[in-house]
């Protein structure tokens, strides 16, 4: 029975592939050589969908009857790996999703998941033993927020199952579940040590694709588009623009770092905010009817404010469509690192049993005609995703090797290997050994912040957070400053409880102050607002802000060029008459 079911899945998968124009069952490009490679094409055996299905069925039957582990075979893994292998022989981005993965894919595109809506975090003792998992923050309007869960609540059990000693992932999975189901949670309040049982009905929890939007400096807005391009992205962006303009925004930084892409239409809509009607945003080219077409802006009144766009090695796909369009039209100054280089377009094909095939059907080009897809010809997925297929090896080493093109203003840009920034700014890095030291410091910082937020640190009662989270807050420099006396109190705590020396704590003072302040801001204003603390020390972001005058000049020159071009067209039209 299992063999028939999974053979049917493969058959349906093959029919989808063979339904692509030019790949009928009798004309598939797949071939198998039955003798030496030098034989004539006339003697080659053409492989049809029926042939493949029959051979797969036979192979599964042999495996089912003879493989040493017998009935322990996980057919889902066997079939999934088979289909993935076929797809990855085509390109790195065609993928097969089983029913569970497909449901998660659809959930992610809706910018939501089902659960209680809280961020959690582990705490261990100096020996690495798990102390417990705690609520770090809740999300506005989510079930956990409505139920009154607070920063520092220790999770004791979920639906009768103890969470003590369990990993972060295990606790998270217990809190998540189908919409409308009950999560009976026993918590221990950090303020009193008392335990309470709270019933929470799981619901849809919004995961915004825009993680943060606020006034980073007077007149300068900042929008962190780091959560991918999902179904709500353009609407989130429209609201962020409206709110920031109401606060006096006249210049903007868009952060696309680590944005892996998503829905192309959402990237188009964001680009349309800044480009004039008739300006090309991107061109899609494929072999299926209706796929090859240009996509033009249709905005009669685009935003004209100076614009800087931040990208890095993990900015991909839809992020690159947005960055490439703004760069080619000289509408934004692109800053950071060369982007990933994904220029292939996938389309979902629904299969039986709730699974889905995400198949590459086209490539896209930026307005200047650039194809930014990085090389994947060696077929090595590890090299492809880590950048080791570059000419010099190593992450981010691939160079743009395609032909040159020109932006509207005549600047030279290149195809292949992603979007190269106009101004390259490397991120701050630290040695691996120091990173390990800093990671260990997170435990005493979190433990100290718990006591601090509940007024349990003598002499530091002013830091007590005794109110519900205030969401959508623009952080001010005077909010939760790390004073000399507070740092001294933390040093004493870490030395006494975590066996650090005073010298070790003083050496990492900058990291400790930033992370401790972020914890307090999380308790008071939520997790997303805490990102503002780290942005204050983000070298790439701060330099991007300093480049806004250059972005202003670029935008002004771009407007002049468009006006001159429009005037020339008008003059030529008049002369022709």
Cite the active site residues.
317, 328, 342
Q: Are 344 and 91 in contact (CB under 8 A)?
A: yes
Distance CA 380, CA 376 (A): 7
Residue 124, classed as helix, strand or coil, is strand
- Tokens 């705590």 appear where? 493
CA separation (Å) from 324 to 271, 342, 545?
10, 12, 20
User: What are the structure tokens assigned to 105, written together?
Assistant: 């894919």
DSSP letters for 4-29:
HHHHHHHHHHHHHHHTSTT--TTS-S
Residue 13: CB atoms within 10 Å: 25
Q: Is 504 helix (H, G, I), strand (E, B) or coil?
A: helix
Q: Write down the residue that tokens 């975590």 correspond to.
A: 498
Q: What is the 3-state secondary structure (H, E, C) of 250-317?
A: CEEEEECCCCCCECHHHHHHHHHCCCCCCCEEEEEEECCCCCCEEEECCCCCCCCCCEEEEECCCCCC
Distance, in Å, from the CA atom of 218 to the CA atom of 42, rounded to the nearest integer, reads 74
Helices 264-272 and 233-246 pack at an angle, to 10 degrees, of 30
Return d(Cα 351, Cα 398) in angstroms, integer: 36
Q: Compute the half-sphere exposure of residue 212: CA atoms within 13 Å on the CB side of its CA.
A: 23
Give, for 156, the enclosing helix (H) or strand (E).
strand 154-158
Q: What span, in angstroms and rounded, lies between the C-alpha atoms of 276 and 266?
A: 17
Ordered strands of the 220-224 beta sheet: 212-217, 220-224, 251-255, 307-311, 333-336, 423-424
Q: What is the sign of the dihedral through the CA atoms of 29, 34, 40 and 45?
A: negative
| Whole-angstrom distance, CA of residue 206 vs CA of residue 528 | 13
């Amino acid at each position: 029975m299992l063999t028939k079911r999974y053979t049917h899945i493969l058959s349906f998968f093959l029919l989808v592939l063979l339904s692509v124009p030019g790949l009928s069952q009798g004309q598939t490009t797949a071939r198998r050589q039955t003798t030496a490679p030098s034989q004539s094409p006339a003697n080659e055996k053409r492989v049809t969908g029926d042939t493949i299905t029959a051979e797969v069925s036979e192979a599964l039957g042999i495996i089912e009857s003879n493989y040493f582990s017998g009935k322990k075979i996980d057919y889902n893994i066997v079939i999934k790996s088979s289909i993935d292998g076929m797809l990855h022989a085509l390109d790195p981005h065609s993928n097969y999703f089983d029913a569970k993965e497909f449901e998660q894919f659809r959930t992610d595109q809706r910018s939501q998941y089902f659960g209680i809506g809280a961020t959690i975090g582990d705490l261990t003792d100096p020996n690495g033993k798990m102390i417990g998992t705690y609520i770090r923050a809740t999300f506005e309007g989510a079930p956990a927020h409505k139920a009154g869960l607070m920063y520092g609540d220790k999770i004791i059990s979920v639906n009768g199952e103890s969470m003590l000693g369990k990993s972060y992932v295990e606790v998270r999975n217990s809190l998540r579940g189908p919409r409308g189901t009950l999560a009976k949670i026993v918590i221990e309040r950090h303020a009193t040590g008392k335990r309470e049982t709270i019933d929470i009905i799981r619901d849809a929890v919004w995961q915004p694709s825009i993680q943060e939007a606020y006034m980073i400096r007077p007149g300068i807005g900042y929008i962190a588009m780091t959560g991918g391009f999902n179904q709500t992205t353009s609407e989130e962006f429209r609201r962020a623009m409206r709110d920031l303009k109401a606060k006096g925004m006249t210049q903007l930084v868009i952060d696309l770092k680590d944005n892996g892409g998503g829905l192309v239409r959402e990237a188009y809509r964001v680009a349309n905010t800044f480009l004039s009607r008739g300006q090309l945003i991107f061109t899609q080219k494929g072999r299926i009817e209706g796929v090859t077409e240009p996509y033009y802006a249709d905005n009669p009144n685009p935003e004209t404010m100076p614009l800087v766009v931040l990208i890095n090695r993990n900015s991909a796909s839809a992020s690159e469509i947005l960055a490439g369009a703004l760069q080619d039209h000289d509408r934004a100054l692109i800053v950071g690192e060369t982007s990933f280089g994904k220029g292939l377009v996938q389309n979902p094909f629904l299969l039986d049993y709730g699974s889905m095939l995400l198949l590459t059907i086209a490539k896209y080009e930026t307005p200047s005609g650039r194809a930014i897809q990085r090389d994947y010809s060696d077929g090595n997925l590890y090299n492809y995703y880590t950048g080791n297929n570059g000419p010099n090896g190593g992450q981010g080493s691939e160079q743009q090797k395609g032909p040159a093109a020109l932006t509207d203003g005549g600047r030279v840009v290149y195809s292949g290997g992603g979007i190269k920034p106009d101004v390259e700014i490397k991120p701050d890095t630290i040695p691996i050994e120091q990173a390990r030291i800093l990671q260990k410091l997170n435990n005493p910082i979190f433990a100290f912040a718990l006591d601090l937020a509940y007024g349990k640190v003598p002499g530091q009662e002013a830091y007590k957070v005794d109110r519900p989270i205030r969401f959508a807050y623009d952080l001010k420099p005077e909010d939760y400053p790390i004073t000399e006396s507070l740092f001294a109190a933390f040093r004493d705590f870490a030395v006494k409880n975590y066996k650090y020396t005073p010298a070790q704590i003083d050496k990492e003072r900058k990291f400790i102050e930033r992370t401790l302040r972020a914890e307090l801001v999380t308790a008071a204003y939520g997790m997303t607002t805490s990102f503002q603390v780290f942005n204050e020390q983000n070298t790439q972001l701060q330099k991007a802000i300093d480049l806004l005058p250059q972005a202003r000049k670029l935008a002004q020159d771009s407007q002049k060029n468009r006006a001159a071009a429009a005037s020339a067209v008008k003059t030529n039209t008049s002369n022709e008459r």
